[in-house]
Amino acid sequence: MEYLFEYAMFLAKTLTIVIAVFAIVTMMVAAGQRRRHMPRGSINVTHLNRELESLRDSLQRVVMDKFAFKKYLKREKKRDKEEAKQLKISAEKNHVENQEEVATESRRRRVYVLDFDGDMEASGVESLRQEITAVLTMAEPCDEVMLRLESPGGMVHAYGLASSQLLRFKQKNIPLTVCVDKVAASGGYMMACVADRLVAAPFAILGSIGVLVQMPNIHRLLKKNDVDFELITAGEYKRTVTPFTEVTEKGREKLRQDVQEMHELFKQWVKQYRPVVDIDQIATGETWVGLQAQERQMVDQLSTSDDIIVQACEEADVYEVSYEIRIPLGEKLGGALQKAMDKTLMVWWQRLRTTRYF
């Protein structure tokens, strides 16, 4: 009997493990199926007028006395009612049956605010293209798009795609304003120059209209250690300079030619979309701060994006549009760990630099 009891317990444990494994696999498959039918991300829209009003109300609630604040709230309510009344009168006056057409004709101008924070690979273009697509479903030529751009540049093909995405607004005759608060260099300026209006902070960094190719070469190290590296290609210039093979003068010259051609294309791009600049003067690979860039006609106006948004809120409805791509849990955890490590290293680096001055 004791043997049968132990055998029954063994079967029960085995069955429990099998059921648990089956349940986990089933949940993983179900989650995968759900992700297939789920959208890649979600669009987020913030009405910046209301956000600005909320900030103002919060400040006035503290600064003003109770009686004055009540009077202020009454004035605001009265103004809102007056605007609604004027809209109704306009609809009746024009005798338009379709109320949507009335709203379109009499609505305030809209400004859509987008953000692009560029890295070497311009990875933000994945969200940018979705944001642009969303805005184009609503925006009209009377509206405006404002892009807050921050980028030190990166890969040519990646920033070429990002710049081409911005041209979609030009194709629809929708004005585009680009604001640079910190930096728009190299590929960042490639994006910025397509704007109808380019605004930069006085000490933002702009320019770097040039092309750079750099890579280490360990051919002599491999040769010293008797390590062979085989490279088989079809086509004379399939590979010109690589990290592992000996650099020939012919390969170096071909690479130099490719870099020069890409630089000429970059210059043509800037000249096409910003014809007021002296392209030979600014396409030297140098960078300038906003004050210097304005002297070279690389920007139209010196200001911050905050000032431009506040001004826009006075005469238009301003909406901040962002597209958030869903990231798998594993990638989120990995990204959080990497950010924590980067932050820790940066803190220690700052401490080491600080101790040098004591």
Q: Same domain, yes or no, for 172 and 260?
A: no
Lowest mean pLDDT among 63-77, 198-212, 218-232, 270-284: 63-77
- Structural domain includes residue 67: no
| pLDDT computed for residue 107 by the predictor | 77
Residue 5 pLDDT level (bands cut at 50, 70, 90): low
Q: Same domain, yes or no, for 115 and 156?
A: yes
Domain of 118 in residue numbering reads as 43-53+111-208+286-325
Q: How many domains does the chain have?
A: 2
Q: Same domain, yes or no, for 220 and 132?
A: no
Q: Same domain, yes or no, for 249 and 319?
A: no
pTM as predicted: 0.74
Please tell me the distance from the alpha carbon of residue 172 to that of residue 357, in angstroms, as a whole number: 56
| pLDDT computed for residue 357 by the predictor | 42
Q: Same domain, yes or no, for 126 and 272?
A: no
The per-residue pLDDT for range 87-137, each reduced to its tens digit, is: 666 656 655 445 544 444 567 899 999 999 999 999 999 999 999 999 999
List 151, 186, 305, 322, catalytic entry? 186
186 is catalytic: yes
271 is catalytic: no
List 66, 93, 224, 238, catalytic entry? 238
Q: Are strands 109-117 and 41-47 parallel, antiparallel or unpaired?
A: unpaired
Q: Same domain, yes or no, for 135 and 193?
A: yes
The per-residue pLDDT for range 193-219, each reduced to its tens digit, is: 999 999 999 999 999 999 988 888 888
Q: Same domain, yes or no, for 154 and 297?
A: yes
Residue 279 pLDDT level (bands cut at 50, 70, 90): very high
